Amino acid sequence: MPLALCLAVTVSPGRTGEQLHVCKESEYHYEYTACDSSGSRWRVAVPHTPGLCTGLPDPVRGTECSFSCKAGEFLEMQTQMCRPCAEGTYSLGTGVRFDEWDEVPHGFANVATNMEVDDSFGDVAENCTASTWVPLGDYVASNTDECMATLMYAVSLKQSGTVTFEYIYPDSSIVFEFFVQNDQCQPTVEESRWMRTTEKGWEFHSVELSRGNNVLYWRTTAFSVWSKVPKPVLVRNIGITGVAFTSECFPCKPGTFAPAAGSAACQPCPADTFSGKGATACQPCDPETYAEPGSGSCKPRPPCTDKDFFYTHTACDADGETQLMYKWAEPKICSEELPQAAQLPPSGIKTRCPPCNPGFAKGNGSTCQPCPYGSYSNGSACLSCPEGTEPALGLEYKWWNVLPPNMETTVLSGINFEYKGIAGWEVAGDYIYTAAGASDSDFMILTLVVPGFSPPSPVLEDTESREVARITFVFETLCSVGCELYFMVGVNSRTNTPVETWTGSTGKQSYTYLVEKNATMSFTWAFQRTPYHEAGRRFTSDVAKLYSINVTNVQGGVASFCRRCAPQPTGSCAPCSPGSAVDPSSGTCQPCPSGTYLRSHPSDGTPTCHPCGPGTCSNQLRSLCYNNCSLALALPGRMLRFEFPSLGMGAGVGTGPSFTPKGLPYSHHFRLSLCGHQGRKMASCADNVTAGRGGPAHVVTSYVCQAIVVPPDITGARAAVSSQPISLGDYLLGVTTSSVLDNIVSPPELFPPGHPDLPDIIFFFRSNDMTQPCSGGRATTIRLRCDPLHLGTGTLAVPRWGGDTGDPEGGFTWPRHLLLSGLGTSLGCFALETPLSQCQCPSLLGVILAVPSKCPEGTCDGCTFHFLWVTAEGCPRCSSFHHRPIVGACIGGVQVIQACRSMDFWLKVGISTGTCVAVLLAALAAYFWKKTQKLEYKYSKLVMDAVARESDATSPDSCAIMEGEDAEDELLFATEMSLFGKFKALTAKFPHHRMAPGLNFPTPQRMPDGFDSVPLKTSSSSTKQEL
């Protein structure tokens, strides 16, 4: 079928009647028509200005729609052939690239929205209009609040392609997702939705795209639950291939160059050089100017100041001496030749070198060498360990003459987040400190790598503490602005996770981190003077200092002391078998007795037997102490036994929804496991936000754990988003009725009072996680309270913020939704060998849980968490104390003796009194309800009368007391009746009230109890009516 192409020539009015000239090549360009159903298209000539010329070239068949050129080439429309790009230009072939972010590029949509929260919180939620992605030159940065910021780009691909970009995702408190949807809004690459946190600078990410329409989404949402503001996500160099052919090449942007033809990308200019747009080479700066890498121009050098140099110490020479010297900070951008410029100070005099670090000693030369295995050293000389001891291997650095070989330092730019080949920390004899960077926003990085660990005894899975080693360091920060020091831990060169952060100046202090995994570990210290990106050095005097670093149980380490061990016949030492420890008197391994467990001594790490806490017992391997879901409680004159096996399965509890300033709802979810299972930890909390693509989520397993949970309908995920899991209890200290154990306090006033004769059973847990505010680790107390009406696991509650009705004293709030059944005046029990129905446990009164408003989310100080568990499992088992024998009649020559629940006299009196009070309250409630109904009717009648009079209508001479209606509400008693008299009058008034004939009010009469009643005064002639 022939294809007819019609080219319409438009003639402008001003040229009507004029002869048009033949179009020159410079007056038109070529374009392709739209692809037809067979994938074909035509090349046509289109004039730049319609009606200017005539005689355009005829259309010719074009290339196939799927045709494309390679990267570094472009399609020449004249010949319809691929040509290489000229020098100074580049092309992606079938793609586009976005590497300049001075503003959001054309075609991108940048929006921010509030999370979907309840309408009642719409007034308090802040506006999210400004919480979008922010272009910052070379990259674009995400928001850092709870708003949902989305960067979108829609593209139609002629063939299958890819999308690539680089990103920095340092903070897991931000949810960062990248996904692709087709034109039916269906996700195409679900496994790549959740991005992985980055560890070392920019990371590359690539996703395949299908032919057709694709919508790309970069979406972030921060969970600013804690006071710290998270660090933003950064994205740069977004490239998309498969778009279409490229008919021209793009010039290199300033600061870059393309030296050869056919370039697919431009290279950045090195330092102290610059280039303009479309450059083929970079030009050097003049001596009095400088330029950073990738600069489009040079800047004049400022005069040098004392902020541009730092001090360090030289390595020990052959004479054992060192020297203080000064160095210019790299890169050096200042000039010493300008007026008033500072000069580099002269080097100091030589001094004696400090001793070697513990475990090292000087060899034949002046360098420190590690002592051989079997010996130890305090830094002066290597000494052999005595018989019956072994070296306690580790690493201890407290003298800083040279950087140890297993440590490295570098600088991460705070502007473009590229690593620089310069040192960020410098040795200074007694300490190591942060040197001057290129700018105050640079991160000064120091990393210590440990190949593995060798604990003195095997670390079992079921143990109180899975500690294989610990690192302790002494540090100090001196800052004039908001500096930050980060301590991070990496496992097997991955997952460099921030553990602790210190902001501002801190005094000299120590910090300890427990290592619970035997793997290659990296410990990193990162110091940033200020997060604001400003050129130059203003806060070089703000420094972080490390005085000492001590790592225990290092594989292949050195020893500063020796510890006792069990000698072998060969003369060497071997660790004791599980459950045994070295006896100091005999030097042999002895099993730990029952009721004790193995714990490493804090000074030398030698395992010793320690007694278990109250209410606990040791497991078979003596690796931990646990509660076997039972307790024997000695009270004056009797012994109570508790059995709560169903609580060993664990439970979960969540707080009510809380809201961030932007209106994002979240809640704290707790998992608890009290007892049983030979002490195995059964509670687990997960982090499913930062899980790798296709990898498992990060899970914390302990006795008590906590996680931040955001509902799935808010985030759009398939399940609830759980993040930031932490352990609140790694080992059980004891189970007791005392409110204090091991300096952990469970204040009884946090919860409503229990039964005076049956105290709460309190479980005390402690965590191994030592944080800056919780130097001793987090702790948890769980109060187990008896309530026979709550069968099974019962009700678990936490002290939380706010309530529905405030307490007049201001100390408590009373939320209506936390209604628990309490103990009232009775003592509950559980039958030990008989069914529960045969154990005459009395009915209990309902009480409302009192929660202190000063303790939000279950904790008052962020370190100790408190829970109340109300359940029938917390009741003591029935014993002989709870029963009395009843001798029955002889039936068939057999006399039956039954056991019945014993109740003392005052307990019976209390129950009877409570029943009477309940009946009285019910009667009074019915009486006042009836009275209120009548008053409402009378009031409405009076209103109707007043309206009738105002409209000159006749109204009945009445006070709304109709015939047949009782008039007891209008009676005024002359004297006070007794309680019995009032009840008698109340029952007598209903059948004996009489109405006088012809009147609308009752006739005065004598009441049956002898009291006179006075009728209501009324006047129909007055506009005022009285009651």
Digit-coded pLDDT (tens) for 229-272: 778 899 999 999 888 777 788 899 899 999 999 998 899 999 89
At residue 257, the pLDDT reads 96
What average pLDDT does range 799-816 have in this prediction? 36
What are the structure tokens assigned to 248, written together? Answer: 């021209």
Instruction: State the Cα–Cα distance between residues 411 and 421, nearest whole angstrom.
Output: 7
What average pLDDT does range 509-535 have in this prediction? 87
Within 8 A by CB and 6+ apart from 1007, the residues are 985, 988, 989, 1013
- The percent of residues in the chain predicted with pLDDT above 90, rounded, is 20
At residue 758, the pLDDT reads 86
pLDDT at 950 over 70: no
Instruction: Please give the mean pLDDT across all residues of the chain.
Output: 76
DSSP for residue 13: G
At residue 299, the pLDDT reads 92
Which has the minimum average pLDDT: 470-484, 544-558, 690-704, 737-751? 690-704
At residue 514, the pLDDT reads 86
At which residue do the structure tokens 């793009």 appear?
250
Which has the minimum average pLDDT: 654-668, 732-746, 764-778, 820-834? 820-834
At which residue do the structure tokens 């100390």 appear?
811
At residue 55, the pLDDT reads 84
Which bin fits 484, alpha (ψ -120 to 50), beta or left (φ > 0)? Answer: beta
SS3 (DSSP) at 352: strand
Is there a contact between 628 and 678 (Cβ–Cβ < 8 Å)?
Answer: no
At residue 284, the pLDDT reads 95
**Which residue type sits at 533?**
H
Which has the minimum average pLDDT: 157-166, 486-495, 727-736, 837-846? 837-846
Is there a contact between 786 and 874 (Cβ–Cβ < 8 Å)?
Answer: yes
At residue 776, the pLDDT reads 79
Q: Is the peptide bond before 331 cis (omega within 30 degrees of 0)?
A: yes
First to last CA, the chain: 104
Angle at alpha carbon of residue 962, lines to 961 and 967, rounded to 5°: 50
SS3 (DSSP) at 985: helix
What average pLDDT does range 367-372 have in this prediction? 88
Q: Beta strand 389-397 with 407-412: parallel, antiparallel or unpaired?
A: unpaired
19 versus 428: which is more confidently predicted? 428
At residue 446, the pLDDT reads 94
At residue 351, the pLDDT reads 86
What are the structure tokens assigned to 506, written together? Answer: 């801190």
Is there a contact between 391 and 557 (Cβ–Cβ < 8 Å)?
Answer: no
Which has the minimum average pLDDT: 309-313, 393-397, 489-493, 778-782? 489-493
Q: Which of 191-195, 398-402, 579-583, 621-625 has the highest mean pLDDT?
A: 398-402
Instruction: State the Cα–Cα distance between residues 832 and 829, nearest whole angstrom.
Output: 9
Is there a contact between 517 and 523 (Cβ–Cβ < 8 Å)?
Answer: no
513 φ/ψ angles, rounded to the nearest 5 degrees = -125, 130
Q: Which of 186-195, 374-383, 900-909 has the highest mean pLDDT?
A: 374-383
Per-residue pLDDT band at 960 (split at 50, 70, 90):
very low
What are the structure tokens assigned to 355, written together? Answer: 């001793």
Q: Beta strand 630-635 with 625-626: parallel, antiparallel or unpaired?
A: unpaired
pLDDT at 836 over 50: no
At residue 157, the pLDDT reads 84
At residue 261, the pLDDT reads 92
Per-residue pLDDT band at 662 (split at 50, 70, 90):
low
Instruction: State the Cα–Cα distance between residues 219 and 195, nearest whole angstrom.
Output: 10
- The percent of residues in the chain predicted with pLDDT above 70, rounded, is 73
Which has the minimum average pLDDT: 51-60, 336-345, 366-375, 817-826? 817-826
What average pLDDT does range 922-934 have in this prediction? 83
What average pLDDT does range 703-720 have in this prediction? 76
Instruction: State the Cα–Cα distance between residues 144 and 133, nearest whole angstrom.
Output: 10
What are the structure tokens assigned to 257, written together? Answer: 């160059």
Gyration radius of the chain over CA positions = 42
Q: What is the pLDDT of residues 300-359, one digit of tens each?
A: 999 998 888 888 888 888 888 888 889 888 888 899 888 889 999 998 888 888 889 999
Q: What is the pLDDT of residues 597-623, one digit of tens each?
A: 888 765 566 778 899 999 999 988 888
Instruction: State the Cα–Cα distance between residues 347 and 48, nearest whole angstrom.
Output: 71
Give, for 919, the enclosing helix (H) or strand (E): helix 905-950
Q: Which of 149-153, 291-295, 583-587 has the highest mean pLDDT?
A: 149-153
Is there a contact between 663 and 117 (Cβ–Cβ < 8 Å)?
Answer: yes
Instruction: State the Cα–Cα distance between residues 105 and 146, nearest whole angstrom.
Output: 25
883 versus 117: which is more confidently predicted? 883
pLDDT at 186 over 80: no
203 versus 461: which is more confidently predicted? 203
Query: Residue 707 forms beta bridges with which residues?
Result: 669
Q: What is the pLDDT of residues 133-174, one digit of tens each?
A: 999 888 999 988 878 899 999 988 878 888 999 998 887 778
What are the structure tokens assigned to 674, written together? Answer: 């009290």
Distances in Å between the alpha carbon of 59 and those of 3, 426, 1005?
A: 11, 71, 119
Instruction: State the Cα–Cα distance between residues 725 and 704, nearest whole angstrom.
Output: 11
SS3 (DSSP) at 2: coil
DSSP for residue 570: T
What average pLDDT does range 867-895 have in this prediction? 73
Which has the minimum average pLDDT: 9-18, 84-93, 384-393? 9-18
As to burial, measured by CB atoms within 10 angstroms (0-12 exposed, 13-18 middle, 19+ buried), residue 293 is middle
pLDDT at 380 over 90: no
Q: Which of 124-128, 330-334, 477-481, 840-844 has the highest mean pLDDT?
A: 477-481
What average pLDDT does range 643-660 have in this prediction? 80
At residue 273, the pLDDT reads 95
Distances in Å between the alpha carbon of 562 and those of 245, 358, 361, 532?
A: 73, 12, 16, 49
pLDDT at 212 over 50: yes
Per-residue pLDDT band at 624 (split at 50, 70, 90):
confident
Per-residue pLDDT band at 882 (split at 50, 70, 90):
low
822 versus 908: which is more confidently predicted? 908
